[in-house]
């Protein structure tokens, strides 16, 4: 899956807040948060580096998408990952390519979906740029 990867040199919890803020600036709210490292520890007794999946949703875009193609809900929310990278205060953020995710799903032949995929893609690119710029 095509995605953008950004390295942030800051503590993990600060990176989560920064990513959440950048998403909010583009109209995305975090509606789910899964701390995989905690899940692996609790369910498997396995230690794992910090790894969090943020389920981001832009309600306006999601409503339009599900209204046009109800099956698109299988691809929602948009997952952004935040993971420890090599110890210390280095964090990797991965943001999916919404154009590929929505456009290559086989669910998006409707013209409305192409426009929504472009809109979501543009917004997520701006999130990535905001993170790169230090915002």
Tally of domains within the chain: 1
In this prediction, residue 8 carries a pLDDT of: 96
Q: Would you state the pLDDT for residue 6?
A: 97
- Domain region containing 22: 3-132
Q: At what angle do helices 59-68 and 111-132 cross, to 10 degrees?
A: 160
For residue 23, the domain's CATH number is: 3.30.310.70
What local confidence, expressed as pLDDT, does residue 88 receive? 76
CB 116 within 8 A of CB 64: yes
What distance separates the 2 farthest-apart alpha carbons in the chain? 47
The predicted structure's pLDDT at residue 114: 84
Q: Quick one: pLDDT at residue 134?
A: 84
pLDDT at 123: 97
Positions of the chain with pLDDT under 70:
103-110, 135
The pLDDT score that the predictor gives to residue 110 is: 64
pTM beyond 0.85: the answer is yes
């Amino acid at each position: 899956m095509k995605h953008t990867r950004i390295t942030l040199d800051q503590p993990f919890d600060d990176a989560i807040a920064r990513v959440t803020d950048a998403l909010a600036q583009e109209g995305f709210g975090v509606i789910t948060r899964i701390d995989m490292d905690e899940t692996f520890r609790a369910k498997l007794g396995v230690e794992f580096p910090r790894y969090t999946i943020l389920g981001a949703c832009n309600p306006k875009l999601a409503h339009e998408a599900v209204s046009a193609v109800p099956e698109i809900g299988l691809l929602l929310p948009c997952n952004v990952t935040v993971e420890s990278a090599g110890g210390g205060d280095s964090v990797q953020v991965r943001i999916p390519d919404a154009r590929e995710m929505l456009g290559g799903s086989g669910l998006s032949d409707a013209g409305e979906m192409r426009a929504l995929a472009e809109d979501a893609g543009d917004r997520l690119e701006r999130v990535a740029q905001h993170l790169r710029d230090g915002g």
